[in-house]
Amino acid sequence: MVIFTENEIESIDLGYKLGLILTNPSTILLEGDLGAGKTTFTKGIGKALGVEKTINSPTFTIMKCYKGKYPLYHLDLYRLNGVNQEFDLEEYIDSGIAVIEWPHQADELLPEEYLRIIITIENDKRKFEFIPVGKKYEDLMEVFMNE
């Protein structure tokens, strides 16, 4: 499924729409170049979960945790240089909504099922390509498309 947004508000609204139907736990993988809109989309998910703090990029901290309906773990693995045993990604994936930017940095730690979203810029619009992996996320996309 592919959806285009024309501005930041529409990208936040798209994340919000997804956030409303997420169940705990869920794993969302966000892929896209720097500035594609990964954190903007995450703001919408947080809004749907009732997160009151400002969501911003965790690039320099690797992870930020926000309290809402479910815990929201926003991870940015861009600066992660290989996986070490001190980084317990599984703990966050199993206990809340894990939104992971640059997930390919830790492929071996990712769960078997997840929702992969590829964000690109085309003609000044954001293109969101939703790729469900596993039955849970296929079912989620069915609900998402019918909302």
The DSSP line for the chain is -EEEESSHHHHHHHHHHHHHH--SSEEEEEE--TTSSHHHHHHHHHHHTT--SPP---TTTSEEEE-SSS-EEEEE-TT--S--TT--HHHHHTSSEEEEESGGGGGGGS-SSEEEEEEEEETTEEEEEEEEESHHHHHHHHHHHH-
- Structural domains in the chain plus CATH codes: 8-122 (3.40.50.300)
Tell me, what's the pLDDT at 113? 95
Residues of the chain with pLDDT under 70: 59, 80-89
Which pLDDT score, from 0 to 100, does residue 85 have? 47
The predicted pLDDT at position 35 comes to 86
